[in-house]
């Protein structure tokens, strides 16, 4: 059975201690009291506490002096400060000395209770992160995929089961969760590792060209077909064919994919004879294909053919304990690329990362680290090095970044500033549209632009390479 959190109440008002003790013990916490600052320090020297509620104005030793000694007494302790004499200066001083939060008497008991709960939840999460970091050397040997969370362990277990079984695999997950990395890992460790890995994004190629890309064509098959050309199925013969965003594939072409998988043969456009192919098929989608089948937008027979084994990649917000591992990995990578020597994140930056919703998943985290390394001037990434939308209300409440007032730099000429704001807004609008819809055509419709314009903008902003 897990030990209850231990909380120290240090206040010279017996009534305050009584009320706090009653509330906290009713919540299942273990509570110890101290009637003055000197007694609080003695308690901290001889007992372990998870959180301390410190009154600023106490006889002998005040709350600020205790705050100054906490890094030596117990650096893992979470301190909360309360006082009857509130002021912005005292609040600022308390936060600078390491207080988690600051309350003025008479304080709202419910607000204090919620703050304590959140602080201890974060402490639990950080402890889990430290445990996982110490175990990183024992991680399953998928070195290109970073993760130690329970959800990623499930992914690794599924990958191990399918590597040596030459069956179709369907990978599901939001954009930016790392689906292509899973494909590479399965291919490179399976029996087809010496064969080719051929990839095609079904949403990035116009419908009238996709069939030729997949199956190839003979000379003269259509206007502009000056020479015969192999398709992706032929190129992948003996290896793995990865069809990304298969949920975007037109229904007519789905029937031909089904035949190719069932019969292990394809027919080039304009050809009379079929060609035998031997490929392992891996597909990926950010759509719910079961719902697409119910809506008659995806063939049921093809769905069951490609969904022999499904692997679902969790969004980053469901694997928070992996964030420090990913941060270390990206910092090391971009230190080398950018010639920087950043050693890590400031503690408050890690707090921001753990509270942020990460709508763009791992790709967004990678982009944030790259940007922050460029902006950083010291040895650590500080809050000021982060994109503006991550340090405000949006980070805590999930408000879309473009809904905030943009942070402007008046040292930049106005035309450049306007262009930067427009580009940032367009990027955010595209991410939001892709997150709220089931594919690029729906996203384009939601944005009021055509699919080609959406594709061009994603290409301009590097969003195609980022797996969005």
pLDDT less than 70: residues of the chain: 1-2, 86-88, 128-144, 392-420, 465-468
- Dump strand ranges (E) for 152-272: 169-172, 197-201, 240-244, 265-266
In angstroms, rounded to a whole number, what is the distance separating the alpha carbons of residues 442 and 453? Answer: 13
Q: In what order do the strands lie in the sheet with 240-244?
A: 197-201, 240-244, 280-285, 169-172, 309-312
Residues 261 and 210 in one domain: yes
Q: What CATH number is given to the structural domain containing 349?
A: 1.10.8.60
In a domain, 181, yes or no: yes
Q: Is 417 helix (H, G, I), strand (E, B) or coil?
A: helix
In a domain, 423, yes or no: yes
Residues 274 and 172 in one domain: yes
Q: What CATH number is given to the structural domain containing 429?
A: 1.10.10.60
Q: What CATH number is given to the structural domain containing 293?
A: 3.40.50.300
**Residue 131's pLDDT is what?**
58
In a domain, 40, yes or no: yes
Q: Is 245 helix (H, G, I), strand (E, B) or coil?
A: coil
User: By residue range, what is the domain housing residue 435?
Assistant: 408-468
**Residue 418's pLDDT is what?**
65
Residues 160 and 305 in one domain: yes
**Residue 265's pLDDT is what?**
93
Residues 426 and 466 in one domain: yes
Residues 192 and 292 in one domain: yes
* Domain count across the chain: 4
The H-assigned helical ranges of 173-217 are 179-189, 207-215
Residues 168 and 55 in one domain: no
In a domain, 338, yes or no: yes
In tens, the pLDDT along 37-82 reads 899 999 999 898 999 999 988 888 888 999 999 888 888 899 999 8
**What DSSP letter does each residue of 138-165 carry, written as one string?**
GS-S-TTS---SHHHHHHHHHHHHHHTS
In angstroms, rounded to a whole number, what is the distance separating the alpha carbons of residues 187 and 165? Answer: 11
Residues 225 and 341 in one domain: no
Residues 432 and 385 in one domain: no
In a domain, 143, yes or no: no
Residues 284 and 171 in one domain: yes
Residues 335 and 420 in one domain: no
- Of the three residues 88, 107, 133, the one that is the final residue of a domain is 133
Residues 401 and 412 in one domain: no
The phi-psi region of residue 63 (left if phi > 0; otherwise alpha if psi is between -120 and 50; otherwise beta) is alpha
């Amino acid at each position: 059975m897990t030990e209850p959190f231990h909380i120290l109440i240090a206040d010279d008002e017996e009534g305050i201690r009584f009320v706090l003790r009653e509330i906290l013990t009713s919540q299942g916490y273990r509570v110890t009291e101290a009637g003055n600052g000197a007694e609080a320090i003695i308690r901290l020297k001889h007992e372990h506490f998870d959180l301390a509620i410190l009154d600023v104005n106490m006889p002998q030793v005040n709350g600020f002096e205790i705050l100054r000694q906490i890094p030596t007494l117990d650096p893992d302790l979470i301190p909360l400060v309360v006082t009857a004499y509130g002021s912005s200066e005292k609040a600022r001083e308390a936060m600078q000395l390491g207080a988690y939060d600051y309350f003025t008497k008479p304080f709202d008991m419910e607000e204090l209770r919620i703050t304590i709960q959140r602080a201890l939840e974060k402490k639990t999460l950080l402890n889990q992160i430290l445990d996982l970091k110490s175990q990183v050397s024992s991680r399953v040997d998928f070195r290109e995929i970073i993760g130690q969370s329970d959800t990623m362990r499930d992914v690794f277990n599924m990958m191990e089961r399918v590597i040596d079984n030459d069956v179709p695999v369907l990978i599901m997950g939001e954009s930016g969760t790392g689906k292509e990395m899973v494909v590479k890992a399965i291919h490179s460790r399976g029996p087809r590792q010496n064969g080719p890995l051929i990839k095609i994004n079904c949403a990035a190629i116009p419908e009238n060209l996709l069939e030729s890309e997949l199956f190839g064509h003979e000379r003269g098959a259509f206007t502009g077909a000056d020479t015969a050309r192999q398709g992706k199925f032929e190129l992948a013969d003996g290896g793995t064919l990865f069809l990304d965003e298969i949920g975007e594939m037109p229904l007519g072409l789905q029937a031909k994919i089904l035949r190719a998988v069932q019969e292990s043969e394809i027919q080039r456009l304009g050809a009379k004879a079929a060609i035998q192919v031997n490929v392992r098929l891996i597909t990926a989608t950010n759509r719910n294909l079961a719902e697409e089948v119910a809506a008659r937008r995806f063939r049921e027979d093809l769905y069951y053919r490609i969904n022999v084994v499904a692997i679902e990649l969790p969004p980053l917000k469901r694997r928070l304990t992996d964030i420090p591992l990913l941060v270390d990995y990206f910092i090391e990578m971009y230190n080398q690329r950018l010639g920087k020597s950043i050693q890590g994140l400031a503690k408050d930056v890690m707090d921001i990362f753990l509270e942020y919703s990460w709508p763009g998943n791992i790709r967004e985290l990678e982009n944030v680290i790259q940007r922050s390394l460029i902006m950083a001037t010291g040895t650590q990434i500080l809050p000021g090095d982060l994109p503006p939308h991550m340090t405000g209300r949006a980070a805590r409440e999930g408000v879309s970044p473009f809904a905030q007032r943009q942070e402007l730099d008046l040292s930049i000429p106005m035309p450049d500033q306007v262009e930067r704001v427009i580009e940032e807004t367009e990027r955010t609008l595209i991410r939001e549209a892709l997150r709220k819809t089931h594919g690029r055509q729906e996203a384009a419709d939601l944005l009021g632009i055509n699919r080609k314009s959406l594709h061009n903008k994603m290409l301009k902003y590097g969003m195609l390479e980022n797996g969005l």
